[in-house]
Chain A
């Protein structure tokens, strides 16, 4: 595929092809059936922050369990709900992204939500809350702690199955990536295996990467993010068990790392994956669940899809993010077209 790097305005608008697999209809994680995405954004002077939430089901769906996986590289961030994800891999928690000083409040909002799904706070009713924390202090007065429990519920209430917003939105409002303005990005891929089509989608918070990765390409003033991280959610409609979903999450990390994450400060990766292709409700009368998983031959391509979609998601975040001035007058500039072109070449290298 041609990248037309010299002519691009914005990679996303021109549907620049990253990798080899075709994208889904809207090139968004919401191409995966069932996935709901919501953003709550605050952009007022010193306060440049927000919440992003990704859920495998609609708020009105009945309680059921979904298979989850995860990939974590590096410490310093937070991912609540880790024990259930790690040990059971079977839960139904919306995945929240918010700055590290707001994690408790977002968690409490998610508890309130959990009680609306049942007084027992069960794993099929959205407990335990999964809240991934990141640092947006470059542009946001993080210690003001503006986000509240209600904001978490607002983000969840606003979640929709066709949201494909990117850039300075939700958790991405104050994001800084590779020395430039980062944000929320999303992309999807479709694979065909064993005679069926499957979709895999990725949503990232691009708040990672050092300016030192691409120092020669910029004429703008870089703004280094000294506490960087990449948060991601991978969703697929292929019915997969948790260990395979772990590999999709790892594939997503490779996709994000394609742009380099070896220069200091490199940042940590926290990625949650889930499948909407199988919902666990009541067992048959004999007490046995009859689970029809996607055939094993799909795994390699789905992992490739997760990787490509995540590379594309990062590019969409960086392409869409607009120059923003925030806390203490610090400005993160939108990446230049030349720089985006360079990244597209890197992605397709």
Chain B
């Protein structure tokens, strides 16, 4: 019996219904759900068909999840709880036809490589990758290998692109061992698809923890009205931030209601990387502004962006320059609707990460508990929000 299962037995005896810990992460939703499937809706704008970042035409997402072993932490061996998520920003060739991009550092204690290049140049030229803190160099290097395969002229006649790689501390497994290979990164890219996006403890979100619960990847989208251009905003988060007491769901202090619910002890488990995509033609400086609204959506889930949290955001438009080389631009008249969409989609994406993620065990018998969905719906009813 692991320490974790002993504890969960104890909590069960005390009347808590902790979800059963799974020794290996199950990536299909099973007894988990998306927030909307529980009857909880965020905001007023309609979602896209998949309520995912992939609702923005051309955007594709792929995960590679590495989970194996359990028990004692042995550096270099395991247990392994890590992965990588790849976001391909357009159906065409992003290196050849770059996209407008912006960013925002809400709290700097995180890495998002390529951010400086993106902010200075305003152009996205590579896929965006999300992974564990220690894997950034490996993923960056693999991204260049991929780009060199696709474009052998890089470094010979053409400029070297700067890959965008965001990280968070995936504290469930052997971080130091860096159990991620170049071929894992290629797998994530190769598996990238449009349509529904797998959420929770998958890809770069495998080892994550948010508001004291198991977390990981979450996504959501919003469409703005036809008279505002009928544009879509999609958001994908890798959520690894926040303390239990802060969690709010649609304004309800769910975290405070669940203070007694079991929680694994982690000293360092912070950061959220947020990626937003839109088919609205926006200038880089407007995408910087959009990123600030990602922060507002995040705040609605309770985050105060603690010192140790690397809260770094990036947003891109899927509209490249047109055939004349001109920049298309929506003008300022619709941006407020886009800001509302960005905020709503971020709030829901964070919550989807929590409702989708399964309880998972980790190194040294630790158990990271999922947000209990039955308790969540009870609490929402108590506050008359369901």
Instruction: Encode contact with A along B124-158: 1 for CB under 8 Å, 0 otherwise.
Output: 00000000011011111111100010001011100
Task: Decide yes or no whether B40 CB sits under 8 A from chain A.
Answer: no
CA distance in complex: A142, B160 (Å): 10
Q: Are B137 and A149 in contact (CB under 8 A)?
A: yes
- A230 surroundings in chain B (CB, below 8 A): none
Q: Are A107 and B176 in contact (CB under 8 A)?
A: no
Number of interface residues of A (CB under 8 A): 42
- B257 surroundings in chain A (CB, below 8 A): none
What is the predominant secondary structure among interface residues of chain B facing chain A?
mixed
CA distance in complex: A79, B162 (Å): 10
Instruction: Encode contact with A along B307-343: 1 for CB under 8 Å, 0 otherwise.
Output: 0001010000000000000000000000000000000
Task: Decide yes or no whether B109 CB sits under 8 A from chain A.
Answer: yes
Contact of B140 among A84, A107, A115 (CB under 8 A): A107
Q: How large is the interface on B (under 10, 10 to 19, 20 to 34, 35 or more residues)?
A: 35 or more
Task: Decide yes or no whether B105 CB sits under 8 A from chain A.
Answer: yes
Q: Are B144 and A104 in contact (CB under 8 A)?
A: yes
Q: Are B137 and A110 in contact (CB under 8 A)?
A: yes
Tell me, rounded to whole Å, the shortest Cβ–Cβ distance linking B6 to chain A: 26
Task: Decide yes or no whether A336 CB sits under 8 A from chain B.
Answer: no
Contact of A103 among B109, B116, B140, B148 (CB under 8 A): B140
Q: Are B105 and A227 in contact (CB under 8 A)?
A: no
Task: Decide yes or no whether B17 CB sits under 8 A from chain A.
Answer: no
Task: Decide yes or no whether B121 CB sits under 8 A from chain A.
Answer: yes
CA distance in complex: A79, B119 (Å): 12
CA distance in complex: A297, B112 (Å): 37
Contact of A133 among B112, B134, B141, B160 (CB under 8 A): B160
Chain B residue, CB-CB nearest to A120: B268
Question: Which one of B117, B152, B267 has the highest number of Cβ atoms from chain A below 10 Å of its Cβ?
Answer: B117
Instruction: Encode contact with B along A109-136: 1 for CB under 8 Å, 0 otherwise.
Output: 1110001000111010001110001010
Q: Are B108 and A87 in contact (CB under 8 A)?
A: yes
Interface residues in B175-215 (C-beta closer than 8 Å to A): 176, 178
Q: Are B312 and A75 in contact (CB under 8 A)?
A: no
Q: Are B108 and A76 in contact (CB under 8 A)?
A: no
Q: Are A105 and B141 in contact (CB under 8 A)?
A: yes
Task: Decide yes or no whether A82 CB sits under 8 A from chain B.
Answer: yes
Task: Decide yes or no whether B243 CB sits under 8 A from chain A.
Answer: no
Tell me, rounded to whole Å, the shortest Cβ–Cβ distance linking B348 to chain A: 25
- A83 surroundings in chain B (CB, below 8 A): 105, 108-112, 115, 310, 312
CA distance in complex: A143, B176 (Å): 28
CA distance in complex: A149, B143 (Å): 16
Task: Decide yes or no whether A287 CB sits under 8 A from chain B.
Answer: no
- B156 surroundings in chain A (CB, below 8 A): 137, 143
A75-B117 contact, Cβ under 8 Å, with A83-B310, A149-B137: yes
Instruction: List 13 A–B pairs whose Cβ atoms lie within 8 Å, in order of A's numbering.
Output: A78-B117, A83-B110, A83-B112, A83-B310, A85-B108, A88-B108, A105-B141, A107-B140, A107-B141, A115-B134, A120-B268, A135-B160, A137-B156
Chain A interface residues toward B at CB < 8 A: 72, 74-88, 100-101, 103-111, 115, 119-121, 123, 127-129, 133, 135, 137, 142-143, 149, 227
| Leading 5 A-B pairs by shortest Cβ distance | A87-B108, A108-B137, A104-B141, A75-B121, A104-B140
